[in-house]
Structure formats: structure tokens, C-alpha cells
Structure 1
Amino acid sequence: MKAMILAAGLGTRLRPFTQKMPKIMVPINGKPLLAYHLRMLKKQGIKEIGINLHHFPEKINGFLKNGKQFGIKVLYSYEKKLLGTAGGVKKLENFFKETFLVLYGDNLIAANLEPLIQFHKKKRTLVTIALYQCSEPWTQGVVQLDKKARIVAFIEKPPKELCSSNELSNAGIYVLEPEIFSHIPSDSFFDFGKNLFPALVSKNIPMYGFQLDGYVRDIGSPERLSNVIKDMRQGKTKQ
């Protein structure tokens, strides 16, 4: 299995940290977020990785090089103009010929991905979205499932007073089939959350959600980054 790490974003919410580096290179306890992604993927046996670049691409390239020192093979995809999350994956369409993973560069995740992958294969679905119980779903959006774990709705930043304590949010990991590329236009900005997934729901194309058993936290703001660093020092991020 191969994976794609989305690393092209500007990381504006995480300034000033991202004024000199991409978000995925922001250090957490002495190592960039990217290093934690690589460790999790290697535990899963994934050693071929695509990664898109735009904001300070030399920082990522200088850290990873050809990937050999990390025991992986890396395919870089430079985006002169941002293509969005789905558009960035579409650009590497020829790299993915079978089931593959997509990881966002926004979250620190410590979880075993095997149950997620097996769930996806069992459902024989086009898309499986990893989910987690978010402590502040009104800031990130909510994913609603039916009793069979099929996704029925995406609610973007619902009112705080309408959120329950067990709401599920997008963890930023997808298991996808190559057939997904037929739903993504080429060479244009296209986003998973804003464009692709709502379109699939409207066409009644099945997508499923799977709740991860592990640690998932967004590092998208200085405050959230600080909280993740505290969690790590307290041993809460081990898997």
C-alpha cells in the first residue's frame, strides 16, 4: 500500500510558526510533525509515499531528501499554484494503482491504522474517512453516520449549543480506491471536504466512517500546538 501526505498548505492559522516553514515541519518535542507521520506509516508497512509541496518546499525536501535514511521511497509533487486537498492527490493519479491512504498535515495522530484499512476492505467502498471524538466539534465540523457507519451528512462548524459530547469529526486520514480519481477534475483547485465529499453524498455514492482508537489532535493554531506538546510530555500520545 502507498500513501499521500498533504503538505502544500500555507498554514496561516499557525503563524508565526509557519512564516518560515510549512506546517508539517513545525517541531513537536524536537521533531517535525512529518517525522511522526512517517513513523506511523512505517509501522503500517507503508514505504512508498507521495507528498505535495508549495510553501517552503525546500524545508521538506531538505529533511526527507530521497527518503532512504527513513527507509522509504518519496515522490515529490510541486504545486506552483495550490490545487486543494483532492486536486493535489489527483496530480499523482498515476502513482496510485490500488487502495491507498491520504494523510493531512494538520493533525498529530498516534493510532494503529490496520483496523481502519480492514474496515474499508470489508465495506468494499470507494472512500473511508477516519473519525475521532473531537472535544470542540463546533470548530471543525461534524460527520454523521447511520447505523451501518455509512456517512449521511457533513455539518460544517455546527452551533456549539447543538453539539453533543460524542460528536465525530474528520481525523484527516482517508482510505481511497483509485476509482476516486474519476470524480476529481484535473489541474484545478478541488477540496475533499468542500467539493468532493458533498458531491459523492449528493450522488448517493456510499462513503463510510470509522472511529480511530488512538490519539488525534489538530495542531492548526499556536494554542492547539501548545496543547499537543503538553500531551506528548505527559505521555498521552503513545500508541
Structure 2
Amino acid sequence: MRAILLAAGKGERLRDITKSIPKPMLKIKGKPILEHNIEWLKSHGITKIYINLHHLPDVITDYFEDGEKFGVSIKYSYEPQLLGTAGAVRKILVNNWEEVEKGDFEPLVVIYGDNLVNFNLKEILDFHKRKGGVATIVVYEKEDVSQSGIVLLDKNDRVLKFIEKPRPEERLSHLVNAGIYILETKVIINYIPADRYSDFGKDIFPSMLKKGAKIFAIKMKGELIAVDTPELLNKALNLNQDMRGK
């Protein structure tokens, strides 16, 4: 099984800090966020990892190299111009399609590289297999959803709507996108346009839902901190628990 860690963003809301270091390389408990996520993937048996790059790419490649010293295999995908979360995934799949085929089109784990996560990935993968959808979105409850992507679900956990940064009248749910997806590679690539910027939350998931695609969501059990603001960074810096899923 393979995973993509999305690490190309500039971290605009932390620009005073991220001028000289990519946000996923900020250290929490003595290790970059990306390293925590790589250890988490490895703890669940996933050792084939792709990382997309844009802002200060050498900081990431010089640290992780090919991944061997971390017990994984890492390939990089450089983006001269940002492609968005979905565009990045499409580029990686296209450029590594032979490997994807050899893996019998196993589901792909996609993680926003600046998120600190701590949950049972096997539980998520079992849910995805059981539901039989094209995509599974990990969600969690949040009070202020104004800057998040919200999901509305039916009684069977199928996603009815996905609204990115909803207006006040659209805030009908407190379940928000955690930035962790399980995707069916052979199918998902057909929904992502080639050679242009596209975002899962703003573009792809809403478009898929309009076309009747089966997308499910599972509420996260565990800790997630999206290190998006100085306040959230401070929260992450004060963490005491082991950030790897059990």
C-alpha cells in the first residue's frame, strides 16, 4: 500500500516562521511533523511514500533523502507551480502509474503533511473496504467551521454534501474535513483534471458528488492538530502524547 504526504504549501498563515522552513518541517517534540507522519504510516505497515514539493524543497529532500534511514521508501514530486491537493495526487499517480498497476490499484492514503494525526489507520481502511466507495474522508467535530470544509452525511455515513469554508447559512454540520483520505486510485484519477490546479475540497469532492460518486466519511477517533496558525502551532508544541497511531 502507498501513501502521499502533501507538503508543497507555503504556510501563509505562519509566514514569519515558514519563510525559511516548509511548514511540514516544523519540529514537534524534536522531530519534523513529516517525520511524525512517516513514523505513523510505517507503524501501520505503509512504507512506500510519495511527497510533493514546492516551497523550499531541498529542506525536505536533504533531511529524508530516499527514506532508507527512516525504514521507508520515498519518492518526490516537484511542482514548479502549485497544483493543489488533487492536482498533486494526479501528477504523482500519472508519473508512477506502472507502480500503481503492479500494486493491483490498492487504495491510496493521502494526508495533508502539516497535520499531526493519532488514530487507528486499520480501522479507517476497514471502513473504506466495507463501504465500497470511491473515497473515504476522515472527519472530526469542530466548533468553528468557518475556515474548514464541512460534510453532511446520511444515516449510512455517505457524504451528501461537501462545502468548503461555508457561509453562515451553510453551516449545517460540525463535522469537518481532517485532510486524510482513502482513495481508489483507478477511479479517482478520472475525476481530477489534467495539468491544472485543483483542490479536493473546493473542486473535486463537490464535483464527484454531483456526478453521484459514492463518498463516505468516518468520524475520527484520536488526535488531530492542523498546524495552520500560531495558536495551533503552540498547541502542537505543548503536546505530551505519542503522536503515532496505535
- Matched with 1:171 is 178
Shift of 1:129: 0.3
Instruction: Please give the TM-score of this superposition, normalised by the length of structure 1.
Output: 0.93
Number of equivalenced pairs: 236
The CA distance in 1 between the partners of 2:194 and 2:170, in whole Å, is 38
Report the CA distance shift for 1:150/1:198 in structure 2 as closer, same or farther (over 3 A).
same
Unpaired runs of at least 5, structure 2: none
- Matched with 2:69 is 69
The CA distance in 2 between the partners of 1:156 and 1:80, in whole Å, is 26
Shift of 1:24: 0.5
Report the CA distance shift for 1:79/1:162 in structure 2 as closer, same or farther (over 3 A).
closer
Is 1:33 aligned to 2:40, yes or no? no
2:59 aligned counterpart, secondary structure:
helix
Instruction: Please give the TM-score of this superposition, normalised by the length of structure 2.
Output: 0.90
- Matched with 1:215 is 223
Unpaired runs of at least 5, structure 1: none
Shift of 1:155: 2.8
Report the CA distance shift for 1:227/1:159 in structure 2 as closer, same or farther (over 3 A).
farther
CA contact (8 A) 1:3 1:101 kept: yes
**What fraction of aligned residue pairs are identical, expressed as a percent?**
41
State which of 137, 143, 164 in structure 1 corresponds to 2:151.
Answer: 143
CA contact (8 A) 1:47 1:73 kept: yes
- Matched with 2:138 is 130
Deviations 1:175-204 (A, max 9, x none): 001110011122211111111001011111
Deviations 1:78-115 (A, max 9, x none): 11111111111111111433211000023211111111
Alignment of 1:29-108 (within 5 A): 29-93=29-93, 94=97, 95-96=99-100, 97-108=105-116
The CA distance in 1 between the partners of 2:72 and 2:141, in whole Å, is 31
The CA distance in 1 between the partners of 2:183 and 2:135, in whole Å, is 5
Shift of 1:157: 3.1
The CA distance in 1 between the partners of 2:118 and 2:203, in whole Å, is 28
Select between 93-102 and 51-60 the one with higher mean Cα deviation: 93-102
The CA distance in 2 between the partners of 1:85 and 1:122, in whole Å, is 26
Shift of 1:137: 2.0
Report the CA distance shift for 1:182/1:238 in structure 2 as closer, same or farther (over 3 A).
closer
1:138 aligned counterpart, secondary structure:
coil
The CA distance in 1 between the partners of 2:28 and 2:119, in whole Å, is 17
- CA RMSD, 1 decimal: 1.9
- Matched with 2:125 is 117
- Matched with 1:16 is 16
1:116 aligned counterpart, secondary structure:
helix
Report the CA distance shift for 1:160/1:218 in structure 2 as closer, same or farther (over 3 A).
farther
